[in-house]
């Protein structure tokens, strides 16, 4: 059994799932494992359970050669994922399936597979070798033009535990959502919204034209367009009712306008769905996706007077850079640097956090940051003795300087020394937390470093 506990066969897990969710147990499902061998299949199943893997790909020619085109994955189809011992690990359900030539598979698909550094380069390297082997076994030839079946799925159930229902799905534009795209566009027009993150939708009333444009824009085999831009558009779909609640553009090649003013990521929330926290979750996903391009720092912009947007950026750790004038739109834009800064001593605070803090605003925000970082433990952070993502919503943060500056810098310096980390170093979140745990907390240094903190009693327990 991959994660310990009872061994469970596919049929047993399926029956348990159906009974808990009120699904007819005769609903069809497939049972299969990822990868080529035991070790790989276990690793990939683990990535699914950890929430890092929500996509997979297979070769169309193999289905065809095996006369199994009726077995092609379908939206809504369930699968029980098996480990290397044929034990059931979890249940997934496809929410998006499309076929595309290998050379056109998008960066977002590569990211969704959760493997390696989640980059397109990594995905292409690993899958080229895998598909070549599969094609050979079936007597067909693999090439850059070979058709690839790309699937995205939700994690529905894990053996022995309850999985919280995911709220938002990130979907590359498809005609399956044509009606939603039309309705979204109309709502944005009705309130004269600025179409951030879906600018081209404004000038394309025909959803087919918009979908084709977005697919072309994400095609890595083409040159960046005449404006120099290249990136992925994602429709943000609420899983509960399949409604499009937002749209996001993530740019991996930037125009001069983006470099100077608008930044790497744009997003909008459907007017009727605003003030529900969707923008914060969308930006968090966009930043995570952008890290798969190797960006250590990205820029997110907003109108200075848009307090909602500003809050979203701050909630994701944004740091004010400057205000730039965007001549084409005759507006000023506030640019913010997004780089997941964590000040060293907060590596201790995170490990004892139990929802208490200076005020509700602060505690909500800190809880969200910890949740976001724990959801992506391999994400990069910058460890820096400066105001950070946590300080962003702190009443003691006076224009970027902590009111207790002398004290917190002392804590920061001691943590950096104990962990042997340079100020300003870039490191994985999980590595940072592990270093602080072992070299500060387990080593008994915590109280010596921050025993005079007003929250000391909380960390003594
Ligand atoms: S007290 Fe200072 S260091 Fe701590 S969160 Fe507030 S501003 Fe940041």
> DSSP string of 72-119?
S--TT-EEEEE-TTS-EEEEEEEEEEEEEEGGG--HHHHHHT--TT--
Ligand 1 center from residue 395 Cα (angstroms): 8
**In this structure, what DSSP letter does residue 378 have?**
T
Look up the pTM and report it. 0.80
Ligand 1 center from residue 288 Cα (angstroms): 25
Ligand 1 center from residue 398 Cα (angstroms): 10
Residue found under tokens 């950026």: 313
Tokens of 409: 């810098």
The whole-number pLDDT of residue 399 equals 66
Number of H helices, E strands in the chain: 17, 17
Ligand 1 center from residue 311 Cα (angstroms): 18
Q: Average pLDDT across each block of 10 residues of the chain; the chain has 461 residues. List them in order.
A: 68 94 94 88 90 93 95 96 94 96 96 91 96 94 97 90 73 97 98 91 97 93 74 94 96 89 94 90 86 84 90 79 91 90 95 88 82 78 87 78 92 97 90 96 96 92 68
Ligand 1 center from residue 397 Cα (angstroms): 6
Q: Which residue has its alpha carbon closest to ligand 1 atom 5?
A: 391
Ligand 1 center from residue 391 Cα (angstroms): 5
Ligand 1 center from residue 433 Cα (angstroms): 18
Question: Would you list the DSSP string of 252-282?
Answer: EE--HHIIIIIBSEEEEE-GGG-SSSHHHHH
Q: Which of 347, 365, 396 to mutate to test the pocket of ligand 1 (most atoms within 8 A of CB)?
A: 396
Ligand 1 center from residue 183 Cα (angstroms): 44
Q: Which residue has its alpha carbon closest to ligand 1 atom 8?
A: 391
Ligand 1 center from residue 341 Cα (angstroms): 13
Q: Which of 365, 404, 405 to mutate to test the pocket of ligand 1 (most atoms within 8 A of CB)?
A: 404
Q: Looking at ligand 1, which atom is closest to the CA of residue 343?
A: 3
Q: Looking at ligand 1, which atom is closest to the CA of residue 408?
A: 3
Contact yes or no for 6/160 (Cβ under 8 A) = yes
Q: Looking at ligand 1, which atom is closest to the CA of residue 362?
A: 5
Q: Looking at ligand 1, which atom is closest to the CA of residue 349?
A: 4
Tokens of 316: 């994701």
Contact yes or no for 85/96 (Cβ under 8 A) = no
Ligand 1 center from residue 175 Cα (angstroms): 47
Tokens of 261: 């003013």
Tokens of 155: 């994690």
Closest to 104 (Cα-Cα) out of 145, 68, 140: 145
Pseudo-torsion of CA 308, 313, 314, 320, nearest 10°?
Answer: -110
The whole-number pLDDT of residue 6 equals 63
Q: Which residue has its alpha carbon closest to ligand 1 atom 2?
A: 402
Tokens of 314: 């701050």
CA-to-CA dists, residue 93 to 68, 131, 258, 399, angstroms: 20, 23, 37, 47
How open is the CA angle 160-164-165, to the nearest 5 degrees?
120
Ligand 1 center from residue 390 Cα (angstroms): 7
Tokens of 29: 């499902």
Q: Looking at ligand 1, which atom is closest to the CA of residue 404?
A: 2
**181: which residues sit within 8 A by CB, 6+ positions away?**
173, 201, 207, 210, 211, 235, 244
Q: Which of 350, 393, 402 to mutate to test the pocket of ligand 1 (most atoms within 8 A of CB)?
A: 402
Pocket of ligand 1 (CB under 6 A): 387, 390-391, 394, 396-397, 402, 404, 408
Handedness of CA 408, 414, 415, 420 (dihedral sign): positive
Q: Which residue has its alpha carbon closest to ligand 1 atom 4?
A: 391
Query: What φ, ψ does residue 403 adopt, rounded to 5°?
Result: -65, -25
Q: Looking at ligand 1, which atom is closest to the CA of residue 345?
A: 3
CA-to-CA dists, residue 437 to 177, 369, 379, angstroms: 46, 18, 18
Ordered structural domains, the chain, with CATH? 10-163 (3.10.400.10), 170-290 (3.40.630.30), 341-459 (no CATH)
Ligand 1 center from residue 330 Cα (angstroms): 37
Instruction: Indicate the SS3 state at residue 425.
Output: strand
Residue found under tokens 């020394």: 417
Q: Looking at ligand 1, which atom is closest to the CA of residue 390?
A: 5
Contact yes or no for 77/94 (Cβ under 8 A) = yes
Closest to 353 (Cα-Cα) out of 377, 371, 379: 371
């Amino acid at each position: 059994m991959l994660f310990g506990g009872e061994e469970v066969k596919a049929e047993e897990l399926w029956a348990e799932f159906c009974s808990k969710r009120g699904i007819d147990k005769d609903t069809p499902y497939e049972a299969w494992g990822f990868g080529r061998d035991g070790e790989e299949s276990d690793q990939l199943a683990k990535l699914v359970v950890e929430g890092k893997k929500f996509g997979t790909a297979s070769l169309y020619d193999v289905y065809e050669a095996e006369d199994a085109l009726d077995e092609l994955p379908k939206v809504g189809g369930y699968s029980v994922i098996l480990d290397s011992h044929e034990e059931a690990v979890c249940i997934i359900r496809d929410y998006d399936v499309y076929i595309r030539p290998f050379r056109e598979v998008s960066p977002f698909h590569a990211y969704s597979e959760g493997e390696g550094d989640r980059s397109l380069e990594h995905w292409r390297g690993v899958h080229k070798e895998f598909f070549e082997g599969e094609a050979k076994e079936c007597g067909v030839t693999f090439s850059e033009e070979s058709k690839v079946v790309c699937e995205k799925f939700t994690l529905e159930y894990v053996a022995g535990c309850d999985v919280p229902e995911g709220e938002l799905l990130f979907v590359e534009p498809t005609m399956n959502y044509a009606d939603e795209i039309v309705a979204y566009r109309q709502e944005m027009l009705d309130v004269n919204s600025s179409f951030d993150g879906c600018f081209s939708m404004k000038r394309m009333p025909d959803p087919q034209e918009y979908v084709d444009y977005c697919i072309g824009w994400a095609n890595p085999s083409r040159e960046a367009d005449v404006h120099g831009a290249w990136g992925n558009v994602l429709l943000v779909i609420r899983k509960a009712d399949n409604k499009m609640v937002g749209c996001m553009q993530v740019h991996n090649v930037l125009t001069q306008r983006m470099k100077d003013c608008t930044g790497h990521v744009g997003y909008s929330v459907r007017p009727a769905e605003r003030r529900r926290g969707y923008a914060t979750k969308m930006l968090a996903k966009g930043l995570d996706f952008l890290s798969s391009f190797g960006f250590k720092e990205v820029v997110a912009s907003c109108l200075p007077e848009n307090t909602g947007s500003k809050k979203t950026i701050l909630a994701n750790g944004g740091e004010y850079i400057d205000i730039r004038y965007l001549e084409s739109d005759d507006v000023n834009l506030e640019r913010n640097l997004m780089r997941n800064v964590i000040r060293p001593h907060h590596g201790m605070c995170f490990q004892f956090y139990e929802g208490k803090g200076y005020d509700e605003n602060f505690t909500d925000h800190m809880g969200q940051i910890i949740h976001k970082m724990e959801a992506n433990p391999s994400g990069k952070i910058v460890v820096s003795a400066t105001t950070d993502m946590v300080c962003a919503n702190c009443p003691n943060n006076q224009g970027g300087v902590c009111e207790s500056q002398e004290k917190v810098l002392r804590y920061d310096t001691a943590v950096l020394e104990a962990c042997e980390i340079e100020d300003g170093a870039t490191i994985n979140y999980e590595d940072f937390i592990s270093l602080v745990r072992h070299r500060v907390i387990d080593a008994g240094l915590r109280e010596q470093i921050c025993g005079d903190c007003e929250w000391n009693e909380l960390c003594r327990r």
